[in-house]
Structure 1
Amino acid sequence: MTPAARTQAAIELLDAIVTAAHDGGAAADTLVSRYFGQRRYAGSKDRRAVRELVYAAIRRLGERPANGRAALLALAATDPVLTATFDGSTHGPAPIGDEAPAPEGLHPRWLEELLAASGIDADEQRALIDRAPLDVRLHPDHADIELPGAEPVAGLPLARRLAAGSDVVALAGRVEVQDAGSQAVTLAADARAGMTVLDLCAGAGGKSLALAALMANDGRIVASDIDRARLSRLAPRAAKAEATIIETRLLDPGHEAEALADVAPDVALIDAPCSGTGTWRRNPEARWRLTPARLDRLIETQAHVLSIGAGAVKPGGALVYIVCSLLDAEGAAQVDAFLAAHPGWQAEPLALPFGRPHHAGVRLTPKHDGTDGFFVARLRAPC
């Protein structure tokens, strides 16, 4: 592909990403994979160059642009080499006229204000759209595996940070891709052999697998979710990891309590649905998807799953609440409201490898901890 053709490809991809962000379609990485899956003629260098253009444009624009061309024009505004590729050639984009590029910014203005009100300053906000590292968790049976170029992660014996572009597919069955922050907050469950643990919003089961490793595959983990498609991905992952103590349970919305009545867990872990502000380094276009109305719905859902978890744990059991968000409305404020509404429950102190105390829990941020952003709190039920 010529440089101009690469620019045109980036524009086409950005068009698709902008539309998906507006309509709730597929994530950017999925759209990129589909695009090149249909264009086998593009070599690895072409794919890498186009992908870099796409993500550079996404990170540069806090607000969703009108279209892909406006997005790439913003990137070209300070890059003469990129500007020159708007040459009107056969496979290239039309020359630049008097059109205006999309305005630059870190995040949508309303989100910048909410982040600032949650104690996330300008430097922390800027770090939310840096490139994320590639972290994995070793399966206990492969703890001695040699991974060229991998770095250990302090406080997490099974965690490794790999070089960018490492082939994790070749490591299937020996490692799980999991951010070091995600591994750290899972430790808040203090899951031990012989326990019964409920993973209430299990999704595809990353934390269930981590819990099984912490429990030395001894005990019971009930991984539940209302999303059949996501939950169905857990069984084959558990089989590869030989995590035999995990059972999956699909929940019917509105009837969760009945479905979990036989569990009575020592610990209920809630990795609640959230805005994902702490994971924007991996999905920077997610800033374009979030709206005040969607955030309000997420906050309602979080309160709902906290209530389910509180009703499920046995007397004296623990409830661990996790969100990959840095907004207090989804983290600290949710826990404060829960404690106010549930007399006898108490927040317990946490000692994690990363993070700083924040209200009744601990918060991890990309700038301070080099991980995805999280808020986690451990709450103890009355006996």
Structure 2
Amino acid sequence: MTPAARVQAAIDVLDLVIEAARSNGAPADRLISEWFRARRWAGSGDRRAVRELAYRAIRACGEIPATGRAAMLRVAADDAQLAPLFDGSRHAPAPIDPDEPVADSGVAPGWLMKRLADNGVEHPEALLGRAPLDIRVNTLKSGRLELPEGAEKVAAANGWRYPPETRIEQSRAYLGGMIEVQDAGSQLTCEVVAARPGETVIDLCAGAGGKTLALAAAMKNAGRLVACDADRTRLQRLPPRAERAGASGIETLLLDANREMEALKPFVGAADAVLVDAPCSGTGTWRRNPEARWRLTEKQLERYAAIQSRLLDVAATLVTAGGRLVFVTCSLLDAEGADQAAGFLARHPDWRAELPALPAGTSRGAGLRLSPSHDGTDGFFVARFVRL
């Protein structure tokens, strides 16, 4: 593909991403992969270039753009080398009309920018930088592990960091299950659980099990670890991951959304620790999913907050006296963080908050906030409660 053809390809991809954002369709990564799957003639250099152009445009536009062309024109307005490629040649975008619409620049939609400011989020532009590649050394299998070159230590106990473009999945350490890809902030939230060998620990919203595997390593495969989720497809990804990681004895439990207690009855009052990594807006993960900020609405935020409150109440019934409940969201909004923690304590006077002792983060209400600008991690809120 010529450079100009790559620009037009990025515009075509952006049109798909914009439409999906408006209709709550597939994420950008999947759309881009599917677009290239139908164009196998495109080389690896073309794929990389088109992908980078598309994500530059996504990151450049705060509000959802009208079209992919308007989004790419936003990038071209600040890139003297890009604008001349709109030359109307074969497979190239049409020449730029001085009067045609150009998408507005910005970090996020206006209502969301106000929320971030009101919630004390500083340097929101950091939410759109490229995320590094963080890995967790799997202490169940590390042995004489030799990390691939280029690693830098991070605050998480077993965490290391690589540049964004690192292809760690082809390394011997990854293929052998000695390391897992996991953001340093995610690793730190698992440390707050302080899971110990011999305990009964429940990961209530386990998904595909990234945090479950970290808990299994902390427990040294000794105790009872139950991974729960209402998404069968995601939960089914955990057993093969656990086998590769050498994490034995993890139980999986499929829940029925809004009827979780039907499956959880045997665990009432039995857990030493419960982790609630609740569904949320994902405002802390924009570095990885920048188009997510175009999808979020105030009504959706309210729905997430309601789900989080309900799951916290469910989790509280599972914890034994003296046990702990850890609440985590990958969000920087108080509605999904400090306000949730305050609401939980108001509803449950037989619990108290313990401020997590981490080598990163800033206090926010009863918990801690991790952020790209302050900690170099994805954005998280984490709170730890203890049953009296």
The TM-score range, normalised by the shorter chain, is: over 0.9
State the secondary structure of the residue aligned to 2:227: strand
Identity within the alignment, %: 56
Partner of 1:146: 147
CA distance in 1 between counterparts of 2:315 and 2:367 reads 17
* 2:356 is equivalent to residue 355 of structure 1: no
Partner of 2:134: 135
Deviates more, 1:96-105 or 1:300-309: 96-105
CA distance in 2 between counterparts of 1:5 and 1:81 reads 14
Partner of 1:46: 46
- CA offsets 1:280-317 (integer angstroms, 9 cap, x no match): 01111101000111111101100010011011112221
State the secondary structure of the residue aligned to 2:147: coil
TM-score (norm 2): 0.95
CA distance in 1 between counterparts of 2:282 and 2:264 reads 27
Deviates more, 1:258-267 or 1:164-173: 164-173
Task: Give unpaired runs (5+ residues) of structure 1.
Answer: none
Letter in 1 for 2:331: S
Alignment of 1:1-383 (within 5 A): 1-97=1-97, 98-121=99-122, 123=123, 125-140=124-139, 141-142=141-142, 144-156=145-157, 158-170=158-170, 171-172=174-175, 173-263=177-267, 264-382=270-388
Letter in 1 for 2:213: L
CA contact (8 A) 1:257 1:312 kept: no
CA distance in 1 between counterparts of 2:31 and 2:54 reads 11
Deviates more, 1:357-366 or 1:41-50: 41-50
Letter in 1 for 2:100: E
Task: Give unpaired runs (5+ residues) of structure 2.
Answer: none
State the secondary structure of the residue aligned to 1:192: coil
* CA-CA distance at 1:155 after TM superposition: 4.3
* CA-CA distance at 1:258 after TM superposition: 2.6
CA distance in 1 between counterparts of 2:372 and 2:220 reads 30
CA contact (8 A) 1:201 1:270 kept: yes
CA contact (8 A) 2:156 2:185 kept: no
CA contact (8 A) 1:62 1:107 kept: yes
- CA offsets 1:32-74 (integer angstroms, 9 cap, x no match): 2222222222222222211111111111111111111110011
State the secondary structure of the residue aligned to 1:90: coil
TM-score (norm 1): 0.96
CA distance in 1 between counterparts of 2:320 and 2:22 reads 43
CA contact (8 A) 2:131 2:164 kept: no
CA contact (8 A) 2:231 2:254 kept: yes
* CA-CA distance at 1:180 after TM superposition: 0.3
* CA-CA distance at 1:146 after TM superposition: 2.5
CA distance in 1 between counterparts of 2:278 and 2:259 reads 18
Letter in 1 for 2:31: L
Letter in 2 for 1:249: L
- CA offsets 1:166-205 (integer angstroms, 9 cap, x no match): 2222223232110000000111101000011000011011
- CA offsets 1:311-341 (integer angstroms, 9 cap, x no match): 1112221110000000001100001011011
State the secondary structure of the residue aligned to 2:336: coil
State the secondary structure of the residue aligned to 1:270: strand
Letter in 2 for 1:342: H
State the secondary structure of the residue aligned to 2:90: coil
How many residue pairs match? The answer is 379
State the secondary structure of the residue aligned to 2:74: helix
CA distance in 1 between counterparts of 2:264 and 2:249 reads 17
CA distance in 2 between counterparts of 1:147 and 1:265 reads 38
Instruction: Please report the RMSD computed on the Cα atoms of aligned residues, expressed in angstroms.
Output: 1.2
CA distance in 2 between counterparts of 1:247 and 1:161 reads 30
CA distance in 2 between counterparts of 1:133 and 1:277 reads 17
